[in-house]
Each structure stands twice: as C-alpha cells, then as structure tokens.
C-alpha cells in the first residue's frame, strides 16, 4: 500500500468503533514481537493536559540528548502528528509500510474470537513499531481514553503520570470523579512511580488507594513553596515567577538572524560548500524555494542550503527553528549516513524542529506541502513577528490573568529548576511542565542519570503543540485564538488566558466559534466561554462522532443571546472573521477536530476577502 491506501485502510477500521479492552491488542502486539517492550516509556493519562505533558516530556528528553518517540491522541492537522521521533512526523513511506506490515496480522486476528482490530489500535501499533525501528531510548505515550482498558495500557512503563481528573466521557468512564479516577489509575503498575496533579478530593483518594494496593510510589504535583528541593519523595511543587522584561532575540554566532539561541558555528569549508550548493539543487528544491520566498508564509524568512554545525539543511526557518529536507529516500552512502547522524544530534541538542518531503511530494502535491509548512511555522513561531500577545507576560488584570505566560520554577524531591521560561501559554501549562519535569527526572534516575537543568530550560522555552492556545494577530484585524478545549475542565482553564488577553489588548468583543464531538458535554464548555461572547457561531466538525450543530446551539442559547448555526467549520470561522474588527477576538475551540479544519495560513486571506474594499 502507498500512503493514501494505508490511510484509507486505517480509516476503514472506524466502522468497528472504539472497543475498550486489551486482550485483542495484546495478541496483535505479540504477533509483531511486542515492539513496545524495546524502550523505556513514560505513560501519561488525565482529563486535560496529557497531550501537552507528553510533548513537554519528550522535548525535555530530546534536549537532554536522547532519541525520543512521542505518541499523541488526537492529531490536529495531519494524522502523522500522532507518531513522532525527535519532533519529526513519521514519514509517509514508513506509515504506509508499517500499516502494510500489520494488515495480514489484523486480518488473521479478525477470524478468531478476538475479533476486529480498531482504528485506534492500529494507530497505536504504528507508533510502537516505528519507535522500535528507530531504536528510541524513550517513548512518551499519551493515553487515548481513560487508562485501564485503553490500547496503550499494554506498555510496561518506567514512570506514569495522571495530570488531573474531571468529568468527561462520563458515558464510558463513569459519572463521578472517583469512578473516572479509578479508570485512569488503571495505568498504575506495581512498584512503578506515578506523579499526579489531581486535586479533587474524591479522585485523589481513589488514586492514592489504588497506588497503595499496587505498591506504587505516588507523588503529588501542586502549587507551593519553590525555595529549594522539596526533600519529600511524595511532593513536587511549582510556582510562577514575576515575568522578566522583554529581551531582544540573540543572533547566531556567525550570521545575523532571529534565533532564540545561538546555533553551532560551521566551518569555513562548509559555508563555502553551502554557497556552491545554492547554485545547484533539484527541480523540487527550486520550486519550493520559489514558493518559500514568495511571501505566502506571512513574512517568515527562510534560508536555502543553510549550514548548521557540520550539517547543511536544505531549508531553514530561524523563526520556527525548523529544518526542511527534500529527500525522502533511505540514505545508503556512508557520508550520507554521517550527515543524517549529525542532523539527529543537532535536532536533539538544540531542540530544532524537522520536516521532510520527497521530490515527488513537492512536485505533485505542492499545495499540500506548502500548507503543512505554513501551518507548522505559524504554530511554532518563536519570535512571533505577527505581534502575538504571548511573546511575553500576559500581565495583570482579568480573570485568571496572573502568571499565564510567566516563567515557572519547579521543585522536585531532589532538585530546583528556577525561573524557567515557557513558550506554551496558560497557567495550566506550568502545572503540566511540573508533571513532565518530575516524570523525566525520575525516569532518568532509574538509569542513575541526573536531569540537566539546561535541558529543562531549553525544552520548556521551545516546546509547542498545535491547537494549544495558538494565537495569531491578523494585520489590521482581530486577534485569533485557537485551542482544542473539549471539556469543561479544559474550557475553564482556557478562560483565564482568554480574559488576560482581552484585558491586555483592550478587546472589545469576543466572537466564539465552537464545534464539538461526542463524549463531551457541551454545557460545561459553553458555561465557561459563551457568557463573555458577543456572538456564538456553532459548527459541526467533519468527524464521525461530531455532535450535531443544532444540539450544541441549543446548549449555547442558555448562556448567550446571539447564537448562529453554521454547520461548516470553515464557513463558521469565515462568518466570525467577517463580523470581527481590529478590536475583537475570534476564539475557535470545542475540539481538536474543529481547530484542524481552520488552517492558520488561511485566516489572513479569509479576513482580507471578507473586508475587501471596507476601510
């Protein structure tokens, strides 16, 4: 199968639904050699923040010099976001090859009493196989749903994390905090340490009881004294710091640029070689270079054949710390293998991002390639030239505004990590960072290795994840915020930074675009976000389990007077942009699937189209 065929085969398994239970998936993994047993694992569950904690944990390990896999659920823009190694999405060729490898085993199991493999199980297996092939040292695995019966729970973790417990998926996990906590605590393994930021009394009591029954060392992660290490194996504290004054970005050591951190200096010979290579290149490279320089990436600057250390990147975007390679082939030559190894080392050491495309992709799927690059750059921008309000502290004022982008200090039982700048906005991300730091520190301690403070500092300053408080200032237009908040707990946490942004930027009105999928109660999300909205545009994401727009609208009318039903997500976003002005905010939320239908690179064009001739 090629990539498109493999994707159709995978999506075809959706008709078999979501089947909780591990017996079938354990049998499938065993048929393929139990790839999940070949590397250390940090297993992460929780109602909210598990994806961000997964990303932060992987970034810290990567910055510490390890080869790291990360498995996410769900994705936002590209299904390959689910499976990443060192920040690089699984290549299309490997995706197709591994699905092809698994297919006969899936079909053989389907003929037994174990039945048909589900789509989620195949995606999870894909990650396990790819991580094993890439010989990762660690894999950070995000639970899909619950924990006890989730497909990911076949792993044998080194550390587990339960970020928090809220009322979500109550039709499956239970209708109380205690019942949901019991399901999520199903990832606890005898003797394996667990960190939790859970603060609900019933949930915490349930997790503590199950931990005691299984002999699990349990540590709480909470806001508290960070004057030094806690000295208590059961306590991790975090606290926000007073924001630092804005600092100008540092140039590279050898060429003026906008990077946050100096990159390794190349030799004169490599610089000369890079100049020579700029005069050569394939047709695909020439085409992509023309497009990257055309202004379609909203002013982001790219460099061609850019030397970094002993490695030359085909293209480099300093603003997003992004390397792009046009290749896709498996390199066989020794010199090329050395080049790949050098690239991997630089990616890990300097927390750089990486995208790879084949020549064929660039030539035959040009718009798709450009869209992927554009979305990535906009969601991973470091210097944020579009005047994002999150480049420094959100500041004071407004509900929950304090500390939303302030540095965080984290005190573990044995170490203090002071005043860590974070790229991710939101006070809740500081709590997620504390969970990630504590989990990684403990995982490395199992190897008798200390976690370097500099690795934590690098990772927290650069880690980002699409659909998590992504902010875009449209030139001469509104502030656009996109966040996948899909349950009451996530929406309540989002309300804090939204209020702070409104206060800081003198926002006149908030226009809410919302679409949700099944398993999540619309009332809880709308109660947190709709009362402050001047208008609510209700849509329906293009997903099998989407909640009908009219059903969400009915709930919205309890909290807002102006509710409009526009089923198409892009059209709902366009309508909100058409109604918005420079003093307004457009908030797009309710589901990662909703956010995924609104490409960041389309927002400016949509706004300009709606306001053409209006000045």
- By mean pLDDT, which of 90-104, 115-129, 162-176, 533-547 is the weakest? 162-176
- Which run of H or E residues covers position 101? helix 92-110
pLDDT at 271: 85
Is residue 352 a contact partner of residue 323, using CB atoms and an 8 Å limit?
yes
Name the 3-class secondary structure at 129. helix
The structure tokens listed for 356 are 């790879």
Whole-angstrom Cα distance, residue 8 to residue 551? 30
Residue 391 has pLDDT above 60, yes or no: no
Biggest alpha carbon–alpha carbon distance for the chain? 68
pLDDT at 513: 98
- By mean pLDDT, which of 358-362, 417-421, 562-566 is the weakest? 358-362
Give CA angle at 198 (194, 199), nearest 5°.
140
- By mean pLDDT, which of 116-125, 165-174, 236-245, 333-342 is the weakest? 333-342
Q: Is there a cis peptide before residue 74, judged by omega within 30 degrees of 0?
A: yes
Q: How confident is the model at residue 329 (pLDDT cuts 50, 70, 90)?
A: very low
Averaged over 104-130, what is the pLDDT? 96
Residue reference for tokens 């159709």? 8
403: left (phi over 0), alpha (psi -120 to 50) or beta: left
What ranges in 311-426 are assigned the alpha helix state H? 334-350, 359-364, 366-379
Residue 333 has pLDDT above 80, yes or no: no
Averaged over 158-164, what is the pLDDT? 97
Residue reference for tokens 């591994």? 98
Is residue 38 a contact partner of residue 29, using CB atoms and an 8 Å limit?
no
Residue 321 has pLDDT above 90, yes or no: no
Torsion of CA 550, 556, 562, 568, to 10 degrees: -40
Q: What percent of the chain has pLDDT over 70?
A: 86
Whole-angstrom Cα distance, residue 513 to residue 533? 10
Q: What percent of the chain has pLDDT over 90?
A: 60
In order of their start, the domains of the chain are: 3-243+393-462 (3.40.1190.10), 268-379 (3.40.960.10), 470-610 (3.90.190.20)
pLDDT at 390: 32
Q: How confident is the model at residue 18 (pLDDT cuts 50, 70, 90)?
A: low
Positive or negative torsion for Cα 162, 165, 167, 170: positive
Mean per-residue pLDDT over the chain, rounded: 86
- Which run of H or E residues covers position 585? strand 584-589
Whole-angstrom Cα distance, residue 438 to residue 410? 9
Higher pLDDT, 273 or 535: 535
266-310 tens-digit pLDDT? 888 888 888 888 877 788 888 888 888 765 565 678 888 888 887
pLDDT at 483: 94
């Amino acid at each position: 199968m090629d990539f498109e065929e493999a994707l159709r085969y995978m999506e075809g398994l959706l008709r078999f639904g979501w089947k909780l239970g591990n017996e079938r998936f354990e049998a499938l993994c065993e048929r393929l050699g139990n790839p999940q047993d070949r590397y250390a694992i940090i297993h992460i569950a929780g109602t909210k923040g598990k994806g961000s904690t997964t990303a932060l944990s992987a970034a810290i390990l990567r910055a510490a010099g390890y080869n790291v896999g990360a498995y996410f659920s769900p994705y936002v823009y590209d299904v390959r976001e689910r499976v990443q190694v060192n920040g690089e999405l699984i290549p299309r060729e490997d995706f197709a090859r591994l699905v092809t490898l698994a297919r006969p085993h899936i079909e053989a199991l389907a003929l037994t009493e174990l039945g048909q493999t589900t789509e989620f199980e195949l995606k999870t297996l894909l990650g396990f196989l790819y991580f094993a092939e890439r010989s990762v040292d660690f894999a950070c695995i995000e639970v899909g749903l619950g924990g006890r019966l989730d497909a990911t729970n076949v792993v044998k973790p080194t550390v587990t994390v339960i970020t928090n417990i809220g009322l979500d998926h109550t039709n499956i996990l239970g209708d109380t905090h205690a019942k949901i906590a019991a399901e999520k605590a199903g990832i606890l393994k005898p003797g394996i340490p667990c960190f939790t930021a859970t603060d609900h009394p019933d949930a915490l009591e349930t997790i503590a009881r199950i931990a005691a029954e299984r002999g699990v060392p349990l540590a709480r992660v909470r806001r508290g004294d960070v004057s030094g290490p806690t000295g208590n194996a059961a306590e991790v504290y975090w606290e926000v710091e007073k924001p630092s004054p804005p600092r100008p970005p540092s140039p590279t050591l050898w060429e003026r640029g906008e990077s946050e951190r100096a990159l390794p200096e190349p030799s004169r010979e490599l610089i000369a070689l890079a100049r020579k290579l700029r005069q050569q290149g394939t047709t695909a490279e020439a085409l992509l270079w023309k497009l990257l320089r055309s202004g379609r990436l909203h002013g982001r600057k790219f460099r061609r054949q850019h030397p970094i250390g002993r490695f030359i990147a085909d293209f480099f975007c300093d603003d997003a710390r992004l390397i792009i390679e046009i290749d896709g082939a498996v390199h066989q030559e020794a010199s090329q293998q050395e080049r790949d190894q050098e690239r991997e080392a630089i990616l890990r050491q300097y927390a750089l991002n990486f995208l790879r495309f084949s020549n064929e992709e660039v030539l035959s799927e040009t718009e798709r390639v450009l869209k992927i690059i554009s979305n990535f750059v906009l969601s991973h921008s470091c210097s944020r030239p579009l005047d994002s309000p999150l480049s420094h502290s959100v500041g004071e004022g407004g509900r929950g505004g304090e500390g939303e982008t302030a540095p965080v200090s984290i005190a573990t039982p044995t170490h203090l990590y002071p005043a860590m700048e974070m790229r991710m906005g939101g006070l809740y991300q500081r709590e997620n960072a504390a969970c990630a730091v504590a989990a990684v520190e403990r995982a490395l301690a199992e190897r008798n290795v200390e976690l370097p403070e500099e690795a934590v500092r690098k990772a927290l300053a650069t880690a980002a994840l699409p659909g998590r408080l992504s902010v875009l200032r449209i030139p001469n237009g509104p502030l656009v915020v996109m966040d996948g908040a899909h349950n009451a707990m996530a929406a309540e946490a989002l309300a804090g930074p939204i209020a702070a942004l409104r206060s800081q930027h003198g926002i006149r009105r908030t226009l809410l675009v919302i679409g949700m999928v099944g398993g999540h109660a619309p009332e809880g999300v709308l109660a947190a976000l709709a009362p402050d909205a001047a208008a609510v545009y209700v849509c329906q994401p293009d997903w099998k389990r989407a909640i009908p727009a009219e059903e969400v609208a009915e709930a919205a009318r309890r909290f807002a007077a102006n509710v409009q039903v526009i089923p198409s997500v892009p059209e709902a976003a366009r309508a909100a942009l058409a109604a918005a002005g420079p003093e307004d905010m457009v908030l797009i939320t309710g589901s990662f699937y909703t956010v995924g239908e609104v490409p960041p690179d389309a927002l400016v064009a949509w706004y300009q189209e709606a306001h053409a001739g209006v000045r």
